Amino acid sequence: MFILLDNKINNASIFRVNTYDCLTLRPMLDTEELDHPLSQSVIQRVSAQIEAKVLNRELEPGSKLNEQAMALQLGVSRGALREAIRFLEPTGLVEVIPNRGAFVRRISLEDVLHLYDLRAGISRTAGRLLTIRATGPQLQALFEMHEGMNAACEADDVDSYHDLNLRFHQALSEYTGNPRLQRLDAGIAKELALFMRRGVFTNASARRSCFEHGELLRAIKAGDSEGAAAAFEAHVLTGKQRMLDSISFSRTDG
């Protein structure tokens, strides 16, 4: 026989169970009290799931993260969820407000303009590095993605263009062979996603963007590092203007 003291109910409460029952007994305590130190892999997995919800607009900018509901949905304790949110906070996607909780960050237009300017400078460096470091197979992959974007424009499929454009820019960043640049660019892209909606691209703006991609690729293929640097920087700055035009149109249309 085993004697168990249940201190959560009453220090004097005594429960008797036999050996067999003891092996299957599951204490009804708050899961946070039972958590072992959380592994980095668990925190990263949960933070990636929250990030995906933010970027897919399942969680809108300004919305509060409901800890209890989200922990239940993701199958983790609230303690694990809080650690994941803290891990995600430096990315700028979420913010924790003392005594209020965690919220999806609402980014201002001023912040967006600063991000575009920063990305333009990074892209100038990326254009130069791509000319030096991109391999033949990588360049071929970029041209194939560009052909796909051209086809999406011809089909007036703006959603497909949007998805291909994201993949294209991720590949450009990766093929620079500079991990620090890649992390910076990915972080900026995620913050911009808090502000941007898929509707930024019209068919006309998608065609213009695709033309600019072609200019960049031709400069890279020709080994023109300065031309590629200038083309990539100009592409981001005209993207900034397209974003501003889309906002003006939306306000006028509304």
The correct CATH number of 35-104 out of 1.10.3720.10, 3.90.1170.50, 1.20.120.530, 1.10.10.10 is 1.10.10.10
Supply the pLDDT for residue 30. 38
Report the alpha-carbon distance of residue 104 to residue 95 in Å, rounded: 6
Which residues are bridge partners to 4 per DSSP? 15
Query: For the domain 109-253, what is the CATH superfamily, name and number?
Result: GntR ligand-binding domain-like (1.20.120.530)
**pTM of the complete model:** 0.74
Q: Which residue's entry shows tokens 């890649």?
A: 182
**Cα separations in angstroms, 125 against 45, 47, 81, 128, 225:** 32, 30, 37, 5, 9
Phi, psi (deg, nearest 5) at residue 222: -80, -5
Work out the number of other CB atoms within 10 angstroms of the CB of residue 28: 8
Report the alpha-carbon distance of residue 140 to residue 125 in Å, rounded: 21
What residues contact residue 102 under an 8 Å CB cut-off, 6+ apart?
64, 65, 67, 85, 89, 94, 95, 96
For each of the chain's 254 residues, which pLDDT tens digit applies? 444 444 443 443 333 333 333 333 333 333 443 344 557 888 999 999 999 999 888 998 899 999 999 999 999 999 999 999 999 999 889 999 999 999 999 989 999 999 999 999 999 999 999 999 999 999 999 999 999 999 999 999 988 998 999 999 999 999 999 999 999 999 999 999 888 765 566 888 899 999 999 999 999 999 999 999 999 999 999 999 988 887 765 554 54
Supply the pLDDT for residue 25. 33
Outline where 157-253 has alpha helix (H): 158-174, 179-195, 203-221, 225-253
Boundaries of every domain in the chain: 35-104, 109-253
